[in-house]
Amino acid sequence: MKFTKMQGIGNDYVYVNCFEEKVEDPSALAIQVSDRHFGIGSDGLILICPSEVADCEMAMYNADGSRGEMCGNGVRCVGKYMYDYGLTDKTEITVETLAGIKTLQLFVENGKVAKVRVDMGSPILTPAEIPVVAEGDKAVDEPILVDGKEYHMTCVSMGNPHAVVYVDDVDNLSIEEIGPKFESHERFPRRVNTEFVKVLDRHTVQMRVWERGSAETLACGTGACAVAVSCILNGLTEDEVTVKLLGGDLEIQWDQEKNKVYMTGPATVVFDGELK
């Protein structure tokens, strides 16, 4: 089976072109390829498949084999793969995901896609649809008790559930301890991705992310979008925000008039390979 390893600001996945390859058990394959000692090493597996409603379908699996609805860094890499590997010659394409159809604008330099702007759609703020157990029509600055300590979270779905928590020090956070306790907290029926955020100024924030099913990753595109929406809802930033992640920066804009979130960032091929 041929594969391509790609990364979007350090959020790395193994990509399989299912226009040509067939994967019988994607969950098992995701666990196998994600292992950084005995496999290829990645945050998960993404299958690029034919679609009846878009230019392609992205089927995304986390490192633990669970199916994910959406991955912002992953979908940018899908756009790059489609163009760079000759599956399309268009610079605007659509990608079917479990979180809906995403429209991608491809920025080409020297015949290759250098960065991608993704229309991530509208943020979901209704607690039952995220889902999170909370009263009221939004979970903004909502108190939550985790491991005996009270935190305040703002919950947003970008097709997958996120809890944004503001902290004074992101760098020295014990994310390996607190992350799993948020992920499996009883208030999140389908578990949750948790972003720990420090606001640097009105246009810049810093974040680390504990991803549901994958532990801490270097970047999370849907998480960066959720963080920008959260910051704007809490009055902490303007509508355009640079989100600084461990793997690099993403530019996020929430157009509140259209109620659309746009994410712009790079996509990079690491290497091509073959798995026996």
Q: pLDDT digit string (tens) for 73-101?
A: 999 999 999 999 999 999 999 999 999 99
Active site residue 220: yes
The per-residue pLDDT for 186 is 98
The mean pLDDT value of the chain amounts to 97
For residue 119, how many other CB atoms are within 10 A of its CB?
18
Which one from 56, 220, 225, 231 is the annotated catalytic residue? 220
The per-residue pLDDT for 114 is 97
The per-residue pLDDT for 97 is 96
Structural domains of the chain ordered from first start: 2-117 (3.10.310.10), 127-264 (3.10.310.10)
Tokens 């994600």 label which residue? 34
Which one from 56, 71, 77, 225 is the annotated catalytic residue? 71
**Binding-site residues from annotation for substrate:** 11, 62, 72-73, 160, 193, 211-212, 221-222
> Residue type for 29, please?
L
Quote helix, strand, coil % in the chain, to nearest 5. 15, 45, 40
Q: What is the pLDDT of residues 186-229, one digit of tens each?
A: 999 999 999 999 999 999 999 999 999 999 999 999 999 999 99
73: closest CA among 104, 50, 52, 98?
A: 104
Distances (CA, A) of 225 to 72, 87, 108, 188, 270: 9, 28, 23, 19, 25
Low-confidence ranges of the chain (pLDDT < 50): none
> Residue type for 64, please?
D
The per-residue pLDDT for 77 is 98
